Amino acid sequence: MKTLVAYFSQTGNTKKIAEAIFDEITGEKDIKDIKYVSNFDGYDLIFVGSPVMEFNIPKNVTNLISENVADKNMAFFMTHAVPEGFESIKSWTGSIEDFAASGNFLGTFECQGELAQHVYDMLINSGNPEMKGFAEMSLAGKGQPDETSVQKAREFAKEIQGKV
Ligand SMILES: Cc1cc2nc3c(=O)[nH]c(=O)nc-3n(C[C@H](O)[C@H](O)[C@H](O)COP(=O)(O)O)c2cc1C
């Protein structure tokens, strides 16, 4: 069995989770930045990871999934700035299940990831109370993903691999 861990990451949070998943996977395996992945050919199991950006999963990620997932075993992992239990998390993970509908979707892992300072500053200074509130809420994510999240990602990887 051959596994691919493909990730999109701008500030390293999703990459950290990708590396934890990759470490835990047994058998033949590759880890790649999503910009070097054009399809899932040759893999029996694919983990795809992404940050949430502008209240969505970025298009490069959803396109890669919807165009290549047919008949493939796929799991998803995601980092976001909102705290655990935040309402929108379900809609983001739900949207991935829709994009992956033609494949064998095995599950999602999600955790908080520290918001980049420049985005925080932009939101705080935006003059938009909603954006300011979002920035303030993200402060609880300083230092995330931490060791606990990394450990949970490892357990997720093991559980998913056990399903294939
Ligand atoms: C431009 C931009 C937009 C973002 N929009 C959201 C958002 O809508 N919701 C959210 O929870 N986090 C948002 N974030 C925070 C990231 O999802 C979070 O910090 C993530 O861990 C970043 O992952 P990375 O380090 O792998 O790029 C945004 C970050 C950036 C840079």
**Single-letter amino acid, residue 120:** Y
How many other CB atoms are found less than 10 A from the CB of residue 71?
8
* Cross-strand pairs, 76: 48, 108
For 77, the token pair is: 């992992």
pLDDT of res. 103:
98
Which residues contact residue 77 at a Cβ distance below 8 angstroms, ignoring those fewer than 6 apart?
7, 14, 17, 18, 21, 47, 48, 49, 50, 108, 109, 110, 153, 156
Residue that has been written with the tokens 């357990």 in this structure: 155
Whether 12 is in a domain gets the answer: yes
The domain of 74 spans 2-115+144-163
pLDDT of res. 122:
95
Instruction: Give the CATH number, domain containing residue 66.
Output: 3.40.50.360
Of 105, 92, 6, the closest CA to residue 57 belongs to: 92
Is the C-beta atom of 16 inside 6 A of ligand 1?
Answer: no
Backbone Cα Rg of the chain: 16
Q: At what angle do helices 88-99 and 59-68 cross, to 10 degrees?
A: 40
Whether 103 is in a domain gets the answer: yes
Q: How many domains is the chain partitioned into structurally?
A: 1
Of 110, 123, 124, 115, the closest CA to residue 143 belongs to: 115
Whether 148 is in a domain gets the answer: yes
> What global pTM score does this model have?
0.97
Is the C-beta atom of 141 inside 6 A of ligand 1?
Answer: no
Is the C-beta atom of 79 inside 6 A of ligand 1?
Answer: yes
Question: How do the pLDDT tens digits run along the chain, 164 residues long?
Answer: 999 999 999 999 999 999 999 999 999 999 999 999 999 999 999 999 999 999 999 999 999 999 999 999 999 999 999 999 999 999 999 999 999 999 999 999 999 999 999 999 999 999 999 999 999 999 999 999 999 999 999 999 999 999 99
Closest approach atom of ligand 1 to CA 14? 26
Please choose from 15, 31, 53, 144 the residue to mutate so as to test ligand 1's pocket, defined by most ligand atoms within 8 A of CB: 53
Whether 31 is in a domain gets the answer: yes
